[in-house]
Structure 1
Amino acid sequence: MKLRKLNRIVHAQASSDGAGVKIQRLAGRDLNTALDPFLMVDEIRSEEGADYIGGFPSHPHRGFETITYMKQGRMRHKDHMGNEGVLAPGDVQWMTAARGVIHSEMPEQSEGLLHGFQLWLNLPAAEKMLPAAYSDYRHAQLPVVELGDGSWLKVIAGTYTPLAESSQKAKAVASPIPQGTTEALYWDLQLAPGASWQAAIPATHNLAVYVYQGSSTEAQGMSLTARQLGLYGEGEGLNLQAGSEGLNALVIAGKPLKEPIAQYGPFVMNSSAEIEQAIADYQAGRLVAG
């Protein structure tokens, strides 16, 4: 079993989106190939209401999926299909924009800690113009694997299969969220100080780890710290070793689409002509038409 090695470290960049919401963002053309099929990783984390109260008023999407995961605080979602709900701590929203969605995401609080993540997951060309879909998953629906000594793993998407010899008797644990073409893995990992952890990762997948608290120490002397994304090379397994303060990280992996990417704001297609069509459809009110 070949363990993957950390090849590259990327720092999240302070940015803002929506109505002035302050975020940490990892995105851009430079990362499209390395993260494929993922397009973007955003983190919102602030105790200051002024940093997030404006939220994300009504806006469109086409051509990909958004995965919103709340750690603390509450976020209300509304879309053109009549879906509406509130994400509480631990909840996940999986929205397939596909042909088109117009929606809003607004905080349900004006003060206190708001902490969450949104990932953009690309769709293959054959699925970009399918009807939109939406699902909420509550914290209790998503399995949490206790790893001992205060360490745990939340399986948001995909199947977790342990590798470590001490865990050989443990069974694979699967998320209830249906797998798409990209067969995405999305896990939230907490390791106690100094703890180590291993998991199987399909050799077909690109792999990245985003540290949002604490640090990890890699075998080759490299380390990942908060607000850093690690990009890993080829292999069938991942080993992480927590630093002295422990580790909290998102582990994401997916089968790359290896298709051209054309993006203009909230539209992600395969060509500039398709982007122009998306803009024209939105301006003419056709974006969400059947």
Structure 2
Amino acid sequence: MSALRTRQLVEKIAGRATSDGDGVKLTRVFGGQGPERFDPFLMLDEFGSDEASDYIGGFPSHPHRGFETVTYMLEGRMLHEDHLGNRGLLEPGGVQWMTAGRGIIHSEMPQQSSGLMRGFQLWINLPAEQKMQPASYQDMPADAFPFHSIPGGQLKMIAGTLRVANQTLSGPIQDKPTEPLYVDLHLEPNQAFDTSIAEYLNALVYVYEGAVRIGEADLQTSQLGRLDAGEQLSILSGTGGARVLILAGKPLREPVVQYGPFVMNSREEIEQTLRDYRSGQLAG
């Protein structure tokens, strides 16, 4: 029997500073050009500041169609409201998983005027046959995502299932078309983490604190590693420990045509989306 193949880094990406919404300062880890490299993921943003002027404008009412957004709060409080009448307060450790589907118009506004606001937003594509499903969302508090102790650290399962140190750990988000795995991993200094990830899933590792080594390559804070195919993932933390996001998902291998907050499969579908939005039918 041949040995299992360990995934290696094939690309290293440094997040870039930008702003979105009403002037919210953030780091765009990836997004925009070359989406097929990250399939089924479309974008990852990290936001984090203790200067209220960097986030107080929030994300006023705006539309989406054709994909899912996942907001994971580390610190701070954000209020979600949408055209369906949904209203939810996202607090530290909480997650909102929103399926825009055929269309949603929502806002995400800070519920604080001082202190630290920190977290991530991930965009995940939907397959063509599910892009026009009714919009929906789940707001889940921090206690839905407990940290699990593992050798050399702890981890939080947001989505998917992972086998670690003879434990099977599952997040509350399951049964999504792209089979997403979303893990927040904290490692103490100089600790090894090993797990298996199905070979057919595309996998990414983002370091948001500290540094890690994967194979012969190093990843520093605010760097994303795109991994090749394989059944195993091995991560070694640096001398200061590390906090990383592990993301994996089933690639859709479909055309991606994006225009701002709309993600469809063809230019014609984008043009129809724009007509629907202008006529008030996008979220009808």
The question of a shared fold, defined as TM-score above 0.5 by the shorter chain, is answered with yes
1:18-57 alignment runs, 5 A limit:
18-57=21-60
Deviations 1:231-266 (A, max 9, x none): 000101110000011111110000000000000000
User: What residue identity is the alignment partner of 1:160?
Assistant: L
Distance 1:7 1:89 in 2: 33
SS in 2 for 1:9: strand
1:94-133 alignment runs, 5 A limit:
94-133=97-136
How far apart are 1:101 and its partner, in Å? Answer: 0.4
How far apart are 1:139 and its partner, in Å? Answer: 1.2
Q: Which of these residues, 264, 268, 271, is aligned with residue 263 of structure 2?
A: 268
State the percentage of identical aligned residues: 51
**Contact conserved, 2:32 with 2:43, CA < 8 A, in 1?**
no
How far apart are 1:31 and its partner, in Å? Answer: 3.9
Provide the residue aligned with 2:212 in structure 1.
Answer: 216
Provide the residue aligned with 2:179 in structure 1.
Answer: 183
RMSD over equivalenced CA pairs, Å:
1.0
Provide the residue aligned with 1:171 in structure 2.
Answer: 167
**Contact conserved, 1:3 with 1:237, CA < 8 A, in 2?**
yes
Distance 1:208 1:238 in 2: 10
Distance 1:40 1:79 in 2: 21
**Contact conserved, 1:10 with 1:228, CA < 8 A, in 2?**
yes
Deviations 1:25-51 (A, max 9, x none): 033444411210000000001010000
Q: Which runs of 4+ in 1 moved over 6 A?
A: none
SS in 1 for 2:167: coil
| Stretches of structure 1 lacking an aligned partner (at least 5 in a row) | none
Question: CA 1:31/1:199 → structure 2, altered by over 3 Å: closer, same or farther?
Answer: farther
- The number of aligned residues is 281
Distance 1:239 1:123 in 2: 29
TM-score norm. by structure 1 comes to 0.95
User: What residue identity is the alignment partner of 1:50?
Assistant: S
Distance 1:2 1:172 in 2: 21
How far apart are 1:173 and its partner, in Å? Answer: 1.1
How far apart are 1:218 and its partner, in Å? Answer: 2.7
Deviations 1:9-62 (A, max 9, x none): 011110000000001003344441121000000000101000000000000000
Identify which range, 28-37 or 245-254, moves more after superposition.
Answer: 28-37
Provide the residue aligned with 1:195 in structure 2.
Answer: 191
How far apart are 1:176 and its partner, in Å? Answer: 1.7
Q: Which of these residues, 222, 227, 250, is aligned with residue 245 of structure 2?
A: 250
**Contact conserved, 1:66 with 1:119, CA < 8 A, in 2?**
yes
SS in 2 for 1:280: helix
| Stretches of structure 2 lacking an aligned partner (at least 5 in a row) | none
How far apart are 1:2 and its partner, in Å? Answer: 1.2
SS in 2 for 1:252: strand
Distance 2:263 2:33 in 1: 15
Distance 1:29 1:74 in 2: 27
Distance 1:135 1:42 in 2: 20
**Contact conserved, 1:31 with 1:39, CA < 8 A, in 2?**
no
**Contact conserved, 2:256 with 2:264, CA < 8 A, in 1?**
yes
TM-score norm. by structure 2 comes to 0.97
Distance 2:29 2:259 in 1: 16
Distance 2:73 2:241 in 1: 21
